[in-house]
A and B are shown apart, each in its own frame.
Chain A
């Protein structure tokens, strides 16, 4: 049961992300779309390092470094 709740929590976050992305694309005057936000945020080198670095680490984590040993 706890596992179901945990997985459900992850799915809720994913669903909220999809809803937020969709809503912001349709209502850019209320909430800026993600690509618009990133175009400003990515002017910061530290933000670029954080986001691209985390993306790269996900690949490393799942494809190169065994995660469950």
Chain B
């Protein structure tokens, strides 16, 4: 494969990834309309618009100059750890669905959004940097995780549709199973910790990639 072919393939891959991501968000958007939850639909609508602006239109948007030096990274990680502990305590100790929860979750979303948007869109480079012997394992991993997500989505869809068939017994969706757990203080604390740790990992990955 010559350089031109490789570059063309990489650009094709970038377009495919963009299209798949936007397709997934569009599907979730439709599902939120069907629930119906216009508020959640608006959230995913905003996400879809962000993708369109950031990927399809490739408009010049302001980017956050993410810290890269060792000292800056340590400083950001330290401040982040303090913020996460504070956020966790607030989410666990204050009433669920209250003003504090709204402020904390919204604030975390803004911070995560800065990390997501701040880094360049450089999938072509990342793909070209993958050693040849690691590409097949990466493709297999992408396929396996995608199939798992599709399986989960299909199962959730069956549960959702069962609630709309008059003669069928409604099956529990994930929300129906998780909600009672969050009403209990201990399990709520566990769910909050898992959510915050996952978010820290994703934001860190969005900021620094695999480094």
Interface majority SS on A: helix, strand, loop or mixed? helix
Q: Please classify how large the interface on chain B is, using the bins under 10, 10 to 19, 20 to 34, 35 or more.
A: 35 or more
The complex places the Cα of A59 from the Cα of B197 at a distance, in Å, of 12
Interface contact A45-B121, CB-CB below 8 Å: yes
Chain B residues whose C-beta falls within 8 Å of the C-beta of A38 in the assembled complex: 205, 210
Q: Does A22 contact B (CB under 8 A)?
A: no
Q: Does B206 contact A (CB under 8 A)?
A: yes
| A-contacting residues, B15-43, CB 8 Å | 17-18, 21-22, 24-25, 28, 37, 39-40, 43
Q: Does B186 contact A (CB under 8 A)?
A: no
Flag A1-31 by CB within 8 Å of B: 1 or 0 each.
0110011011001001100100010001111
Interface contact A67-B144, CB-CB below 8 Å: no
Interface contact A64-B127, CB-CB below 8 Å: no
Interface contact A49-B116, CB-CB below 8 Å: yes
Interface contact A20-B18, CB-CB below 8 Å: no
Residue numbers of B with Cβ under 8 A of A are 14, 17-18, 21-22, 24-25, 28, 37, 39-40, 43-44, 47, 50-51, 54-55, 91, 96-97, 101-102, 105-106, 108-109, 112-113, 115-117, 119, 121-123, 125-127, 130, 133-134, 137-138, 140-142, 144-145, 148, 151-152, 155, 158-159, 162, 169, 171-172, 174-179, 182, 191-192, 195, 198-199, 202-203, 205-206, 209-210
